[in-house]
Structure 1
Amino acid sequence: MYPCLLAPLGAHSPLPAIARRPAQLVGNTPVLWIDAPFAPPGRGFHAKLEGANPGGIKDRPGLHMIKEARRRGDLAPEAPIIESSSGTLGLGLALAGLTYGHPVTVVTDPGMEPSVVRLLTALGAHVEQVTSPHPDGGWQQARRDRVAELASGVPWTYCPDQYHNPDNVAAYRPLAAELLAQLGHIDVLVASVGTGGHSAGVTAGLRESLPGLKLIGVDSIGSTIFGQPAGSRLMRGLGSSIHPSNVDYAAFAEVHWVAPAEAVWACRQLARRHYASGGWSVGAVALVAGWVARTYPAGTRIAAIFPDGPHRYLETVYNDDWCREHQLLDQQQPQEPDEIAEPDECVVTGWTRCSQVRDPLGRDVIKAGVR
């Protein structure tokens, strides 16, 4: 009655190779088809589940930046690594420190979830929190200033500077190769934007084979990356209060800003319907990718990058009391984004789309998105 139970051991599909080091667990992440409730029957998008890496998507640049720094001689054997992080890159650097034999200090702020602080400490990293934001650059600039202060007092310290390090971008070329192998043709890529690393690196890699690929960026309200004024940001992992030079503005066809309540709704729908979810970036990306799946022509192949999994967000995104405290539950969710013609036309407070993308510091030219 159950013939599979009688099959000899080893008769089924081969198992993955045994990893000899934890760094070998990074990459080759799965892709999952996502449809309802984000898209009607027959439509949907392919989600690249980077939360299947040991620490999330930033395991890739954590390892790559340190490997390249060692190769160039910028990082001496056993020298300390100090970097600013809201969480995920800290996990990647902890893995890199273990892999290559370097002590790691992660400078963060009070917004880092206590579970992540404990996990980083368990992984051997030292965690230091700044106590007040910078008056102009917010928590990110305060963290960066503290990194510089700590580094100045410790000889041979290496600071990866994920916001401006081209190795951060280059680290994502293997992810592009994985997507090509898994999906073949891709018409639209939907990616969150924080440091700008994975949106730039994956897009550059894909466009070598798919020059017509369309990139849609997903940002947080209150983020300055695409020309909005800096504001208070509840969401972590996407958005920025500074202007990272790794952001490839010319690569984007359009940008969407998403609010916390919208991301929470999407995260919880993913968990309930697909058993695959994550944090703020995942929810925001799913919201936008679902809109693309609903509104673009049938047959459009959409890939969306989910940077992490849900575990570090159990006391925020998935905590009813916390969400009610921040008025993130029981809100009517929009089916379509608001539209603005220019990225600085007004201060956006909810899901909003703009098809004009430009570098707010004037380092790039205006690029109009074309549907």
Structure 2
Amino acid sequence: MPSILSNNAVVSSSRSSTAQLISSAPRCHNPATTAGNTPVLWIDQPFAPPGRGFWAKLEGFNPGGVKDRPALHMIAAAKERGELRPGARIVESTSGSFGLGLALAGTVHRHPVTLVTDPELEPNIHRMLTAYGARVETVSEPDPSGGWQQARRERVQEILDATPDAYCPDQYHNPDNITAYAPLALELVSQLGRVDILVCSVGTGGHSAGISQVLREFFPHLTLIGVDTIGSTIFGQPAQSRLMRGLGSSIYPRNVDYAAFDEVHWVAPAEAVWACRALATTHHASGGWSTGAVALVAGWAARTCDLDTRIAAVFPDGPHRYFDTVYNDDYCAHHDLLTVSPPSTPDTIARSADRIVSRWTRCGNVVDPIQATEIMRPRMRILP
């Protein structure tokens, strides 16, 4: 009969062997290292039949969402180039997600952060940004042509002019926003082995350009599908008031790589809400407007492509900032977002200038609207 000591040794040895088989989360000595290495989740019904789903990259597992990646990268790159001086203030326009990333970057690199937003920012995100140490300023009136986005950018410039050594990373036009997503692309290569179709929402243009550029080094025939919101001007539609935040734009970000896209889909708010709630009830995974819109389009791709097509879709964040919008029945009822189920297929237009879209619509002819025909230009303000 073995002694108590020998029994303990056996138990200890058994636990040690078991522990060696467990892949533990990394030990992080710096909050920056908590970002990245996010999981992928298989999504099928109700978006596609069994066996015809897509892989969702769950960027909501980052501390603040997908834009933690460019915020950390852009600030580190600016410091390395000497553009951001030690202790200088970081100033940026944000609708929320990039602000969360910059608050993280400010903590990591010890810089004060001022974020310029607008009255449509969710109150809980405003409170979290303040809790993370950022100073939050809110513009009061939208720009007549460029909307809230341009009004925020003009206020950023005023702060920069009045603040010595202040630095603006300019997520809309800074190419560091693109290169920041190389690690995400390499994660997809490691996780999936092959990617045939990539589905991305488009706002600043950073993650669609950055991920697709790297993936095409491995998979030259990759198809890139962009997802925009109705009312956005990025792909040549006229700028209008937009209910959905986090995707779309009322300006033309230079980071958008128009040549990289094989097609673009515009999605309406009610269609995105349906998808978000369907994700939540069927896969216990969801997010905001962008996530719902991307899931809707990725599901269509899964239904219509060859069975062995491997589809990756980027879900930019989780559901937490959308409790008062996407997941609030009163809010959704007020905006008539609960009475619409999306069609199984989108409308199709030959060119983005053909007509103003009001529901899920796709276009296979993606062009840079600044360089394209003048048909739509009188309705928009072209910004540098």
Q: Shorter-chain-normalised TM-score: which range?
A: over 0.9
How far apart, in 2, do the equivalents of 1:7 and 1:130 lie?
61
Spell out the pairing of 1:39-118 with structure 2 (5 A cutoff): 39-118=48-127
Could you list the structure 1 runs, at least 4 aligned residues long, displaced by more than 4 angstroms after superposition.
Answer: none
Spell out the pairing of 1:150-189 with structure 2 (5 A cutoff): 150-189=159-198
**2:234 aligns with one of 214, 225, 229:** 225
How far apart, in 1, do the equivalents of 2:42 and 2:315 lie?
12
Q: Does 2:38 match 1:29?
A: yes
Shift of residue 317, structure 1, vs aligned partner: 0.1
Q: Does 2:319 match 1:349?
A: no
Is the CA contact (8 Å cut-off) linking 2:274 and 2:341 kept in structure 1? Answer: no
The Cα offsets for residues 297-342 of structure 1, whole Å up to 9 and x where unpaired, read as 1110000000000000011000001000000002232111000011
Is the CA contact (8 Å cut-off) linking 2:271 and 2:341 kept in structure 1? Answer: no
Shift of residue 295, structure 1, vs aligned partner: 0.5
Q: Does 2:257 match 1:242?
A: no
How far apart, in 1, do the equivalents of 2:215 and 2:249 lie?
25
Task: Indicate the residue corresponding to 2:303 in structure 1.
Answer: 294
How far apart, in 1, do the equivalents of 2:340 and 2:101 lie?
35
Q: Does 2:279 match 1:270?
A: yes
Aligned to 1:256, the other structure's residue is in SS state strand
Aligned to 2:231, the other structure's residue is in SS state coil
Structure 2, gaps ≥5 residues long: 1-12, 374-384
Query: Matched residue pairs, number?
Result: 359
The Cα offsets for residues 5-35 of structure 1, whole Å up to 9 and x where unpaired, read as x962625413122111111001000000000
What amino acid sits opposite 1:288 in the alignment? Answer: V
Task: Indicate the residue corresponding to 1:8 in structure 2.
Answer: 15
Task: Indicate the residue corresponding to 2:47 in structure 1.
Answer: 38
Moved more, 259-268 or 329-338: 329-338
Percent identity between the two aligned chains: 65
The Cα offsets for residues 344-363 of structure 1, whole Å up to 9 and x where unpaired, read as 10000000000000000008
Q: Does 2:336 match 1:323?
A: no
What amino acid sits opposite 1:139 in the alignment? Answer: W
How far apart, in 2, do the equivalents of 1:156 and 1:141 lie?
23
Aligned to 1:179, the other structure's residue is in SS state helix
The Cα offsets for residues 269-292 of structure 1, whole Å up to 9 and x where unpaired, read as 000000110000000000000000
Computed over aligned residues only, the root mean square deviation of the Cα atoms, in angstroms, reads 1.2
Shift of residue 59, structure 1, vs aligned partner: 0.3
Shift of residue 179, structure 1, vs aligned partner: 0.4
What amino acid sits opposite 1:61 in the alignment? Answer: P
How far apart, in 2, do the equivalents of 1:7 and 1:328 lie?
55
How far apart, in 1, do the equivalents of 2:298 and 2:237 lie?
22
What amino acid sits opposite 1:53 in the alignment? Answer: N
How far apart, in 1, do the equivalents of 2:372 and 2:254 lie?
9
The Cα offsets for residues 188-246 of structure 1, whole Å up to 9 and x where unpaired, read as 00000000000000000111111110000000000000000011100000000000000
How far apart, in 2, do the equivalents of 1:14 and 1:363 lie?
51
How far apart, in 1, do the equivalents of 2:155 and 2:352 lie?
31
Task: Indicate the residue corresponding to 1:280 in structure 2.
Answer: 289
Q: Does 2:168 match 1:121?
A: no
How far apart, in 2, do the equivalents of 1:49 and 1:105 lie?
28
Task: Indicate the residue corresponding to 2:379 in structure 1.
Answer: none
How far apart, in 2, do the equivalents of 1:270 and 1:171 lie?
28
What amino acid sits opposite 1:30 in the alignment? Answer: P
**2:344 aligns with one of 335, 356, 360:** 335
How far apart, in 2, do the equivalents of 1:16 and 1:189 lie?
27
How far apart, in 2, do the equivalents of 1:242 and 1:333 lie?
28
Is the CA contact (8 Å cut-off) linking 2:200 and 2:208 kept in structure 1? Answer: yes
**Distance change >3 Å, CA 122–CA 362, structure 1 → 2:** same
Aligned to 1:357, the other structure's residue is in SS state coil
What amino acid sits opposite 1:239 in the alignment? Answer: G
Task: Indicate the residue corresponding to 2:312 in structure 1.
Answer: 303
How far apart, in 2, do the equivalents of 1:363 and 1:104 lie?
38
How far apart, in 1, do the equivalents of 2:253 and 2:371 lie?
13
How far apart, in 1, do the equivalents of 2:372 and 2:256 lie?
11
How far apart, in 1, do the equivalents of 2:232 and 2:71 lie?
24
TM-score (norm 1): 0.95
